[in-house]
Structure 1
Amino acid sequence: MSSLDSEAKPDNAGHSVLALTTSHSLVVSSPETFLPDMRKELGIIADLVESYNDELCLLKLMAVQFKTHNHQKLYSYLSGYNHSISEADALFAENALRSEYWKRVMALTDVLPIMSDAKRNEWDKQFTADRYIMPPQVIPDFTADAVVGTVVALLNDRNQFIKERVYDVFQSLSRSHKTNKAFGFSTRMITTGVCEPSKYPWQKLRVDFKESGISPLSELRVICAFFRGEQVKAIHNTKSLVEALVEHEGFRKWICIDGNSIRFRVYKNGSMHIDVHPDIAERLNNILSAIVPLALPADRMAHSKKSLEAFPVLKQCIDFDTRMQLSELMFKNDGDNKWSCWTSLGSLAERKSSSVAADTLRFLGATVTKYDVTFSYDPCEVIRYIGQIGEMPDIVSHQFYPSSCRISEYVSSLLG
């Protein structure tokens, strides 16, 4: 039984405990035994609160100065606008400052990416400053007690957030296909509305992929990443990934992604068949049966022995952020066996120790400078492989450089 099957209730907000973690298990101890182990995280909170208080005092002093009648014209000189500072302006400035610090704290956890879209939008609405909301909003105070209590409660609710997302994916499956209800995530799932044909007078018949139809697959990718023990991040490239892979592999072909945790195939009628790796599917079914006990039969292992053996082995993945960055690189042949790409990844050469993207490119044989990436071979295929599977290609078995014509012709003659 999965550890997510038990309900997780928030600790008392007054307890000074915090767990800044990205793993898929959360262990909370009593304050007496927990505090010494989490001293570093509590120190980060204390530093942020101290920095916030310092900036808040400075902000209030500046507001008082610029609200003084004699100083209003000086503010106009600085800002370039001919208006004064009002009480509403000062209130918004304080809200904006609190909002920034709340975002800094939440960036230390993986809670927001785990939330469903509805809950994340609700959070953003409460903690994002907006100058034009009437009546003026008030962002919650940024104090040590408020921060620790809120973050601990959210961390303890992570399990519930995952449960809700699993159930939402199950609910989004096609109602017209019986396999979607028989065995939950242990059998083939079908979603519709993935693509539709379109034809314009000046174009050939083409297939347009729809974000709404692909969203269940995108949600599954997030959930499977959680169960692989990876840091959960929002995924924005599922539609473009599916488009590229279907163009490369074709319709009606099984395509594995994300460390072989998911495989799918797309049909021209707009339906998509999805299989989840059996190891992860059983854990998802444990969650589903806890939410809706009668939704699944007691014997819910629908995968046959043959299909279990055919499913590829799970692999460790590079993080989604790096893979999405790499997939955005567009290389062109500059001649003389050089493929280059201007990069917006930042000064990769200056962040050798911290940039996974830069390290990945260098491992593949690239020369990474401040503004571009250069290969001595066409890297498109290997970049596609990393974006699809998420693992680094094996340096022994993977052929990075294409064979010369002489070798290709010789091997072809041997094969007859």
Structure 2
Amino acid sequence: MNMNEPQLFAGDQNQLAVFTPIDSLLSAYRKDREDLERIASYVAGETRVMHYFMAGAQIENQISSISAASLFELAPAVRELDASYWSRAMSLTDVLDSMPAAKRNEWNEQIRGHKTPAFEPESVKATIGALLAQRSQFFAERVDGLFRALSGEHLTNAPEGFGKRMIIAHLRSHYDTLNYDRSNYIHDLRCVIAKFMGRDAPFANVTHDDLNSMYRNRQYGEWKCFDGGAFRVRLYMKGTAHLEVHPDIAYRLNQVLAWLHPMAIPNEFRTKPAKAPKDFTMVHDLVPFEVLSELARGRVDRTGKSISFFYNSIKPNHRTVQVLQYLGGVPGTMGNWSFDYEVQPVLDELTRTGRIPDQKTHQFYPTPECLASTAVDLADIADTDTVLEPSAGLGGLAEHLPKERTTCVEISNLHCKVLEAKGYITVCEDFLRWSPPMKFSKIVMNPPFSEGRDAAHVRHACSFLQEGGKLVAILPASRRNKTLVEGWNHEWSEVFDNRFEGTQVAVVILVLTR
């Protein structure tokens, strides 16, 4: 059990008791309350001289006039204290995050407006216990809350359930900022979808930040996918948002609505569609929200090409490090990661979609030790062989190759600097545009997989192979037993599952000869 969360036990069948963290919070509250009462009592007895403090502050600090009596009045201070401690109490559990948007907005408004009840032990324990017991009900209410938040002014919104285009109005406030209360409904949808997809829970402000990024970059009138294509949003300047949920998710949302309103949702809206639309794809292999949360806490510098975790005292976990490497980052000595492109747009898209953008990064996955050694063994490199490694990355394969006879080609300037520092012959070029002055007797490669680039890299590499040479490539398992290069001999290894840590990709090793 996570000791940072309250521990629960059943005192009897009708009451849920919360102990340890809440008791500690109540103790801290009592001390703060006593300090407030002591200060208020002291000031009340010294009003004759306290006005000098007020007048002096007004003149020296150029603040408006205020009296000691109003500044140190006990009742408003206690209400602020109560609100602050209620906020802290709610943060001890996931109950606030599990609430539907309407209830969450109501709680936040009570805290902001000093309208919370007194922070008394019986009230606190009873309230939090009751809210924790309602979490399964909250799940359904989150779906219902979004459906009820749809704009009544637009005929597009279908009353039968999710599945058609929906419209949410007033996503922008009167101050031309994102309306947090309205974006909460979209966040609710995201939380429910994460449950359906078996994904960890989205962190608190992720949806608000993603929508803000779309407004900041003026991405109006274009569909933007969220969470692997589970749903998509199109924003307009006036503050209206169009929203579409993937059919494979929509019918499950409608089943939840039907549980709340069994007579209101037609049966055809609760049935899984026979086939998915071609223009609305969805994937499930996504970066965990835990990793996205760590990345969001990093600070991008003024150049846009470095992320620092030093200032926030964060040491990224190994999965976050893998994503940073995959984005093409190189770690520094002060908790920072450097890139050779502006990384913030990529981070924005990664957080929103859960997927690393193919066109904007170098799609770098370090070659695992076991695959690297197997691939090099299959190449049968002799003492006289000259070797080429395209898309060398940070040298995962090159470390197993003869350094003085191996040429590394790499697109990332930062990675090239690392390779050069390791002593490799390095060419900093896009491999698909590179034409070498010589041919090689052996080529060993782990090309990028996305959008069919692996096949393009292999075919391009074949033109640089000497007669009687051999090419060895690590490829996606889907390529196995297919002809990539006409007129060449193809030998395939067994399938290697889950060798790239943090992904579910399966690979094979291809040996090509003429």
Under a length normalisation based on structure 1, what TM-score does the superposition of the two structures give?
0.64
1:31 and 2:17 correspond = no
- AA aligned opposite 1:290: W
- Report the number of matched residues: 355
1:312 and 2:288 correspond = no
Aligned-pair CA distance for 1:289? 0.4
- AA aligned opposite 2:350: I
1:191 and 2:162 correspond = no
1:351 and 2:314 correspond = yes
Partner of 2:383: none
- Paired residue for 1:374, among 338, 352, 357? 338
Partner of 1:176: 155
- Paired residue for 1:42, among 19, 24, 34? 19
Partner of 1:256: 225
Partner of 1:409: 433
Under a length normalisation based on structure 2, what TM-score does the superposition of the two structures give?
0.53
Distance 1:140 1:311, change over 3 A: closer
- AA aligned opposite 1:389: T
Q: How does 1:14-413 map to 2 (within 5 A)?
A: 30-31=10-11, 42-69=19-46, 72-74=48-50, 76-77=52-53, 80=57, 83-85=67-69, 89-128=73-112, 130=114, 139-171=116-148, 172=150, 176-177=155-156, 180-181=158-159, 184-185=161-162, 187-191=163-167, 217-225=186-194, 227=196, 228-230=199-201, 233-234=204-205, 235-242=207-214, 255-263=224-232, 272=242, 274-276=244-246, 278=248, 280-299=249-268, 300-307=270-277, 311-313=282-284, 315-319=286-290, 321-322=293-294, 324-325=296-297, 329=300, 332=303, 339-340=305-306, 347-348=311-312, 350-352=313-315, 361=324, 364=327, 365-367=329-331, 374-380=338-344, 382-390=346-354, 395-396=364-365, 402=411, 404-405=428-429, 407-410=431-434
Distance 1:86 1:119, change over 3 A: same
Native 8 Å contact 1:116 1:165 kept in 2: yes
Aligned-pair CA distance for 1:291? 2.1
Structure with higher Rg: it is 2
Separation (CA, whole Å) in 2 of partners of 1:108 and 1:294: 38
Give the RMSD, CA atoms, in angstroms: 5.1
Q: Which runs of 5+ in 2 are unaligned?
A: 59-65, 358-362, 368-390, 394-409, 413-427, 435-455, 464-514
Distance 1:83 1:354, change over 3 A: farther
Higher RCO (CA-CA < 8 Å; seq separation 6+) = 1
Q: Which runs of 5+ in 1 are unaligned?
A: 1-18, 131-136, 196-207, 334-338
Native 8 Å contact 2:96 2:104 kept in 1: yes
Aligned-pair CA distance for 1:50? 1.0
Distance 1:226 1:322, change over 3 A: farther
Native 8 Å contact 1:366 1:376 kept in 2: no
Distance 1:361 1:288, change over 3 A: same
Separation (CA, whole Å) in 2 of partners of 1:267 and 1:94: 43
Say which structure is richer in helix.
1
Separation (CA, whole Å) in 2 of partners of 1:46 and 1:169: 35
Say which structure is richer in strand.
2
